[in-house]
């Protein structure tokens, strides 16, 4: 008897279990069909357990699984070896007839109970859509189906249908799935008119993934239970406040890689105001020209990378905001467009990314709560003495890929807890003086530094030591090692690595 073995690999993603299953070749499918006649009732019974039978199956003793006791399908299995030990031919013939009847019954149960993406198959249905009964997961991704398959158990919690050709969701089809919490329809061909009314009848749905489809607007029938919604990589142009009124408990909203704003206007004021519990908002790679106004005060993470933003006005947050992370990289912001009161209410902001804009000076009036400030890839040419005076909590500062040729002595002295300073790819001719005492890492590669004087890393009196500085990068400069002062690093008592090449 040939034995079919499948290796299932379980992955956990954000607390959910996924299954990777081997793809079957045409030859393997043919072999499986031939092997169907050799499989025992016990094997067929094992793979045909329904969702309703999982609890019964879990209660079976080891004796019940291997002996002749009843299984989940009510069948009494016996092996081929047992059949060969029959006392006479008549008994053996009767046994074979009984086995054939049992096998036909099991095949009928498989057709009725198994989740399948290709219902024309009988025995092979479980190889097309995979059920994980204990977790109540239905994995039906990458199957080439054009509709949501019928026959999915109604008590399924996670239904994964990504990477198919689904272009319509049958009306009321999902309403029976009262236990479903996670539905993935990413990378299909869904349009606005083909999903109308599809989601409003799913009372327990918490996570809905509709990214990489053909949607133009936000679905109007979102369930109130929703906590996470992904609509990335669609064709969204506009959205209305009414679209969000149905899901006030939404925590994560991802709308990246759409056409919101359409390059000429921003979102309507307070369009997201009904989302009073929202924590993360991703609007990366749209066509917004300014930061939306009237955002929910509950937002902690706001991503606006790769838009057309030229102005950040005050009023983005009408009140004291809980914002901690703000990414405005790869936009068109200038010092004039970054208004004085733009971050006035962001008193909890810890990370600000302004990389790849058009800033010519270090912005003023930044929140004192900042721990990470990224100003890389701008047009900054000089660093003035007190420009960082209010940033007492700053730990990481990125100034690489600017046009900096001058740093005022003591410009970084006002940053008492600064750990990392990156000044790579500028036009500096000397090492900045009076570096912060807490500095751990200093990057100065790809500048025009010609020498390192003996007091370069000293601060005022020679007894002062940058004891925390353990890494200095000086590669790709103009330093003549033959003329390097032997005492150049005498104030670095704890340093471990200095890179020159």
**What integer pLDDT is reported at residue 71 of this predicted model?**
33
Segment 152-158 shows an average pLDDT of: 90
CA distance 318 to 98: 76
Share of the chain above pLDDT 70, in %: 69
Is 208 exposed, middle or buried (CB count within 10 Å of its CB: 0-12, 13-18, 19+)?
buried
Segment 205-222 shows an average pLDDT of: 96
Tokens, residue 438: 């807490």
pLDDT tens, 113-134?
A: 444 444 333 223 334 455 555 5
pLDDT tens, 391-403?
A: 999 999 999 999 9
**What integer pLDDT is reported at residue 465 of this predicted model?**
67
pLDDT at 55 over 60: no
pLDDT at 59 over 50: no
The mean-pLDDT minimum among 9-13, 147-151, 470-474 falls in 9-13
The dihedral through the CA atoms of 266, 272, 273, 278 has a sign that is: negative
- Of the pLDDT bands very low, low, confident and very high (cuts 50, 70, 90), residue 307 is very high
Is 435 exposed, middle or buried (CB count within 10 Å of its CB: 0-12, 13-18, 19+)?
buried
pLDDT tens, 13-39?
A: 333 333 333 333 444 434 444 444 343
Q: pTM surpassing 0.85?
A: no
Phi and psi dihedrals of 311, rounded to 5? -140, 135
- Of the pLDDT bands very low, low, confident and very high (cuts 50, 70, 90), residue 104 is low
Residue 111, phi-psi category: left (phi > 0), alpha (psi -120 to 50), beta (remainder) = alpha
CA distance 415 to 228: 38
Segment 49-77 shows an average pLDDT of: 37
**What integer pLDDT is reported at residue 5 of this predicted model?**
39
Spell out the domains of the chain, with CATH numbers in brackets. Answer: 386-501 (3.80.10.10)
């Amino acid at each position: 008897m040939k034995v079919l073995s499948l290796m299932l690999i379980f992955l956990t993603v954000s607390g959910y279990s996924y299954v990777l299953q081997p793809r079957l070749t045409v030859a393997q499918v043919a072999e499986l069909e031939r092997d169907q006649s050799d499989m025992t009732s016990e094997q067929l019974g094992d793979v045909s357990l329904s969702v309703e039978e999982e609890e019964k199956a879990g209660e079976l003793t080891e004796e019940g699984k291997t002996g002749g006791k009843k299984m989940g399908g009510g069948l009494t299995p016996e092996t081929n070896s047992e059949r060969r030990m029959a006392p006479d031919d008549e008994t053996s013939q009767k046994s074979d007839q009984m086995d054939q009847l049992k096998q036909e019954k099991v095949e009928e149960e498989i057709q009725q109970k198994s989740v399948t993406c290709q219902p024309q198959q009988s025995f092979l249905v479980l190889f097309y859509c995979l059920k994980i009964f204990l977790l109540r997961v239905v994995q039906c991704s990458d199957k080439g189906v054009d509709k949501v398959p019928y026959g999915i158990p109604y008590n399924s919690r996670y239904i994964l249908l990504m990477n198919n050709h689904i272009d319509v969701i049958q009306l009321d089809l999902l309403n029976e799935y009262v236990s479903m919490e996670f539905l993935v329809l990413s990378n299909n061909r869904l349009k606005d008119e083909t999903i109308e009314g599809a989601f409003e009848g799913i009372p327990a749905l918490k996570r809905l993934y509709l990214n990489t489809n053909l949607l133009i607007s936000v679905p109007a029938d979102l369930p109130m239970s929703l906590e996470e919604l992904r609509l990335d990589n669609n064709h969204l142009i506009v959205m209305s406040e009414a679209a969000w009124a149905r899901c006030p408990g939404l925590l994560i909203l991802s709308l990246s890689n759409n056409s919101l704003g359409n390059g000429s206007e921003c979102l309507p004021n307070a369009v997201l105001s009904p989302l009073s519990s929202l924590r993360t908002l991703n609007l990366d790679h749209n066509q917004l020209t300014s930061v939306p106004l009237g955002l929910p005060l509950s937002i902690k993470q706001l991503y606006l990378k790769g838009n057309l933003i030229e102005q950040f006005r005050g009023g983005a947050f009408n009140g004291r905001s809980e914002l901690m992370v703000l990414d405005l990289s790869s936009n068109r912001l200038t010092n004039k467009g970054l208004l004085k009161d733009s971050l006035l209410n962001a008193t909890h902001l810890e990370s600000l990314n302004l990389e790849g804009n058009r800033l010519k000076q270090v912005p003023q009036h930044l929140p004192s709560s900042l721990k990470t400030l990224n100003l890389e890839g701008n047009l900054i040419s000089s660093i003035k003495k007190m420009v960082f005076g209010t940033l007492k909590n700053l730990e990481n500062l990125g100034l690489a890929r600017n046009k900096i040729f001058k740093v005022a002595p003591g410009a970084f002295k006002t940053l008492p807890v600064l750990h990392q300073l990156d000044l790579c790819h500028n036009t500096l001719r000397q090492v900045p003086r009076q570096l912060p005492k807490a500095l751990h890492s200093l990057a100065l590669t790809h500048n025009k530094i010609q020498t390192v004087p003996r007091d370069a890393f000293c601060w005022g009196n020679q007894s002062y030591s940058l004891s925390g500085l353990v890494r200095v990068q000086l590669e790709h400069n103009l330093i003549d090692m033959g003329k390097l002062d032997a005492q150049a690093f005498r104030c670095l008592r704890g340093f471990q690595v200095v890179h020159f090449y």
